[in-house]
Chain A
Amino acid sequence: MRNRLSEYKKPMPFLRKYIGFIFILPALVLHLCVVMIPSVSTFVMSFFDWNGLKSPSFIGIDNFIEIFAEDKVVWIAFKNNLIWMLIFLIVPLIAGLFVATLVVRLRHGQMLYRTAIFMPYVLSAVIAAKLWESIVNPYYGFPVIFEAIGFDSLSKILWLGDPSIALFTVAFVDNWHWWGFVMVLFVAALHQVDEDLYEAVRIEGATKIQEFWYVTLPGIKPTFIFIISMSIMWSFTTFDYIWAMTQGGPGQATEILSTWIYKNSFTMFRSGYASALCVVQSTLVLIAFIVMRILGKGAEE
């Protein structure tokens, strides 16, 4: 009798059993409508010749053949995305980590510095882009100041007009916007590192650099991996600053996958081809995600 009682499990009420699912249902429905269904639709339309309005016609893999074998702009855009990715894997990480290690040591005014450095992140991309467009304007921006103080060579640089540096100029502006956020992430991660570990290595006679290399970096590795993953994925999907500042010019020097997708879909009325480009872009991001997941698991272990 006692065994039967202990084995007897009261059936869960329906509500308690499915309450978790009910709570996530609205987000799931939204995700389905806004992300999953359009994603599947994009994948399907990538096999069609479609101008976005008229009836699509099935063309198989012709769009993909055009992407890889005929469209020279795709390779220009891909190269620019790679350059963008390298910039964002180096500059904000180094700058963010360096400043974060300084900021966490402050006894007074730490919040002031964190706020000041984080401020650009709250600006909208278009406002920041227009702001910097004015700053580099050759008629009334920094070039005028450079000329006034005698830096003639600097004053003659067309920051958004020189095809060899326009991409770096736009990347700088996006970095200015982004690195404060990276710094804040690193500050949070640094606070998580156990102080006892620092004490332990100091007792062993470690230098500051050794402290940083053997305690700090391993301690913030998950955050590092996360930022690297996001930087790689977002590098392939970036759009706002390029579109606001140069629209892919001058002479397609700042053309990236997203702007090329936009032009094909919305100004050239080639939605089928743009869908194929989206599939290729998403595949690149997926590959990056999988690689970083594998590396991230190693870091956690």
Chain B
Amino acid sequence: MKLKSVLATFLAATATISCFTACDGNNDNNTSDSEKKAGDKTTINWMDGRSTQDYQIEAVENYLVKPFEESNSNIDVNFIPTPDITQVLKIQLAAGEGPDLMTLEGPSSVGNFSDRLVDMTEYVEEYNWDEIMFDWALESCKVDDKYMSIPNWYEAIIMWHNNDLMKEHGWEVPKTVNELETMCQEAQDADLIPICYHTGGFIMGNDWALSLWYSNYCGRDRVKQLLAGQAKFTDEDFVAAIEMYNDWWQKGYIGEKQTHAISNEDSQSLYYSGKSPIFFHTTAMIGQMKQNCTFDYGMDYYPKFNDELESAVVPIACAGSLAINIISDVKDECAQYIDYIYRDTKNMAKGVEAGLSPFCTDIPTEDFSKDVDPMILQMKDIFAELEENPEMIGYCQWTFWPTATHEYQINNIEKVFLGQMTVQEFSEESQKVLDQDIAAGLVPTIP
């Protein structure tokens, strides 16, 4: 009996102690003071939610991490690919933990994290990042006139087109909205999906089309006015933009009236199997297109949807932004790393060729290899054109729109398609939410 009692006590005590070891606050994701003695190696823990596929992780390690480590032998970079990064970071940052360097999901979410982030304005000045980063991208990272993050990857909403299929049917890449509409009708008549675009099981995807229609119908300046509270969703042009979008949806041009019923992965499969001349997505697909397309394909921006605009407007996004954790002990090293990877355009070019999205800087053409994917150079040309013609730069919702307005729109646009809500009602309700966001100061900086 005595032995049994002792054994029981031992087991119970062990179980109790093991519970507390699980609550150990030691987090490997930030660097402690003990790791930063003079001459010792320091480690930057970098958490990123975008490059999570194997080929992307490999590209980051080979072209963004190793070159820096070889040039800076006293600093290691621990790259931590993390799906669903916003939720992970929210929990870690709220607990006072988190990585040293993190890739947030764009400037629109930075405002929510700003209490936990380093003001990087001094670093911008020290390293002259305004000279190497795209103006529109860097300015979008300001919160209350401070640079709370730095732009990371960028992307634009464009049309991917199946050149073989288009040639087979005698179509050219449409340069006007009438040509696009005609091609859509002819594609439909040929039992093809005119524009392959589906958001089933991924409500967030609704913001691609909303971004395009608002920017490319109303124009850059009008969207800027809207977000500044100087225009309203209920204004004629904004209502007309959604009416046009809804009209095309009802005609079946977009996803054959099934955008909400099929996943984006299925949509990609349909495009890869030649069921559609146009795939609606962003430049972020560049690596996957190369891996999956068995036909000749290309990319281009959509023609302007409104004849009153001077030119097409291409919604662009700062798809991620780099921020430094306020509790990090390697803040200077993080800034040093950011500067290095931005200036090492040769390795950045290799990374892009290996499937990474490019950083918000111009990569010289000569830095790419001789057999670079022509799409990469085409994407580069598009962004160069946008830099030279800022009136063509539109605003993607997930970067530039306040969160609640963005959420309301992506959750409710389907009601318009399904006849549960009129365009006017959708616009009125969107305006109510936007008014609250503006009053609460939650609209990101609009460049």
Contact = CB atoms under 8 A, between A and B. Distances in A.
**B interface, over-half SS:** helix
B23 A249 contact: no
A160 B266 CA distance: 14
Interface residues of B, number: 46
Given A19-B8, A137-B262, A54 B115 contact: yes
Interface stretch (B12-20, B283-291, B352-360, B377-385): B12-20
B329 interface: no
Contacts, number: 115
Given A53-B94, A161-B200, A251-B412, A263 B19 contact: no
A55 B115 contact: yes
Given A53-B112, A138-B262, A26 B12 contact: yes
A251 B415 contact: yes
A247 B411 CA distance: 9
B19 A30 contact: yes
Interface string A15-32: 110010011011001100
A22 B420 contact: no
A53 B90 contact: yes
B428 to A, nearest CB: 13
A145 to B, nearest CB: 17
B260 A249 contact: yes
Contacts of A158: 258, 261
A13 B414 CA distance: 69
Interface string A233-256: 000000000001111111110010
Given A26-B19, A246-B201, A163 B9 contact: no
B5 A16 contact: yes
Contact of A251 (B18, B201, B420): B420
Contacts of B94: 52-53
Nearest to B256: A138
B19 A160 contact: no
Contacts of A23: 8, 12
Given A29-B19, A266-B90, A268-B403, A19 B5 contact: yes
A51 interface: yes
Contact of A250 (B19, B20, B202, B414): B414
**A interface, over-half SS:** loop
A50 to B, nearest CB: 10
Instruction: Kindly state the interface size class of chain A when it binds its partner.
Output: 35 or more
A176 to B, nearest CB: 18
Interface centre among B109, B260, B263, B407, by most chain A C-beta atoms within 10 angstroms, is B260
B266 A137 contact: yes
A51 B112 contact: yes
A29 B112 CA distance: 33
Contacts of A159: 261
A33 interface: yes
B309 interface: no
B23 A33 contact: yes
B200 A53 contact: no
Given A139-B262, A266-B90, A268-B404, A251 B418 contact: yes
B148 to A, nearest CB: 13
Nearest to B266: A137
A153 interface: no
A266 to B, nearest CB: 6
A269 interface: yes
B273 to A, nearest CB: 9
A53 B115 contact: yes
Nearest to A160: B261
Interface in A30-61: 30, 33, 51-55
Contacts of B71: none
A252 B418 CA distance: 11
Interface in B101-137: 109, 112-116
A247 B203 contact: yes
B270 A139 contact: yes
B165 interface: no
Interface string B25-44: 00000000000000000000
A3 interface: no
Interface string A156-197: 001111110000000000000000000000000000000000
A80 to B, nearest CB: 14
Nearest to A72: B429
A124 interface: no
B112 A251 contact: no
B262 A22 contact: no
A267 interface: yes
A250 B113 contact: no
Contact of A252 (B23, B113, B411): B411
A269 B261 CA distance: 27
Interface in B242-284: 258, 260-263, 266, 270, 275
Contact of A138 (B19, B20, B258, B417): B258
B420 A163 contact: yes
Contacts of A269: 109, 112, 403
A246 B418 contact: no
B202 A247 contact: yes
B86 A249 contact: no
Contacts of B116: 53
Interface in B324-356: none
Nearest to B89: A53
Contacts of B8: 15, 19, 22-23
Contact of B200 (A160, A162, A251): A160
B9 A22 contact: yes
Contacts of A54: 112, 114-115
B372 to A, nearest CB: 34
A250 B261 contact: yes
Nearest to B263: A133
Interface of A: 13, 15-16, 19, 22-23, 25-26, 29-30, 33, 51-55, 133, 137-139, 158-163, 244-252, 255, 263, 266-270
13 contacts: A23-B8, A25-B16, A26-B12, A26-B16, A26-B19, A29-B16, A29-B20, A33-B23, A53-B94, A160-B260, A161-B258, A252-B411, A269-B112
